[in-house]
Structure 1
Amino acid sequence: MQFTESRRKYILLGFVAFIIIGFITAKVLGSKQDEEFLIDDTLYQQASQLYNEGNYPAAGELIDDLLLRQPNSEIVNYLGGLIKANNGDYKQSVILLQKTMDINPHKVEDPMFMLQFGEVLLFAERFGDSKIVLEKCREWGWIPESYPTYQERVTELLTQIENM
């Protein structure tokens, strides 16, 4: 099949128009995605700052909004779990920390995460689960440089469980 010169021009123009429309669409959608990312990042930074300052109720309000926007984010669920624990909502904290592990199963190799998870399970009165997590912490023998009394804390929490 042979194309005439005018038909080739129309095919080329159609192809160029298709590419231009694709770029315009990508630009518009990308701008919207950038705006959403900036909003989420701002919410996370504010919640993290409030958490670090010890203003847990205000951090809780922000993290609730962020959890609605980013329910499958490991870092958002982790921060949410820590904030909920500091606000005394241990059952919700357990859910969020468990979801963090579901999203990233390698969290079980993070000694601080596992200690925090074991403590939250203890405070949520899930003693059996807490004991399993804390015994794993003790078996691994992790001692993070930032927390030299890590093993002593694990032993202290396990003693609390045994005395209940």
Structure 2
Amino acid sequence: MPFGWEPRARDFPRRNRLIAGISLGVVVVEAATRSGSLITARLAGEFGRLVFAVPGSPLDPRCEGTNGLLKDGAMIVTTPHDVVEALRPLTEPDLFRPRPATAPIERSKPLSTPPDDAERDHIVEALGPTPVEIDDIVRHTGLSISAVHSVLLELDMAGRLHRHPGGLVSISMLD
């Protein structure tokens, strides 16, 4: 948010989602039953991140959330070393070391041939002012997905294609 932005409760879930998404893991130290930290932990789990929790007294209401996370499978944390050891496989330098270059694979024919004029016309005819899924165009025309995407890219670059939410496309009827 811009500087001077007044924090609002409705902005926190978006912040929690960003934190969960950019993290390798999330550590929850203390959380009541209804806590934003639990939202972050849930999102982290959905994103495939590690979720850690520090156990607390079962009599302390501020620990109900963390103890619940532990019951649901979060990794127990009692020292920072626990987190470092759990994250070590994810941060090994070997994972990020560039691999040696290999010789390019020689191909006798190209992976795909560019669509010809008849195929282009067939794809354009399959488009209309009503948004459709690209998969429907592939099924309707019987052409390869690479040919359909190639023509859609050409139409898009020419300003003749409209892209709609959900991956739908339609053609501009200005002609």
**Greater share of residues in strand:** 2
**Greater share of residues in helix:** 1
Question: Do both proteins adopt the same fold according to a TM-score greater than 0.5, normalized to the shorter chain?
Answer: no
TM-score (norm. length: structure 2): 0.25
TM-score (norm. length: structure 1): 0.26
Higher relative contact order (CA 8 A, sep 6+): 2
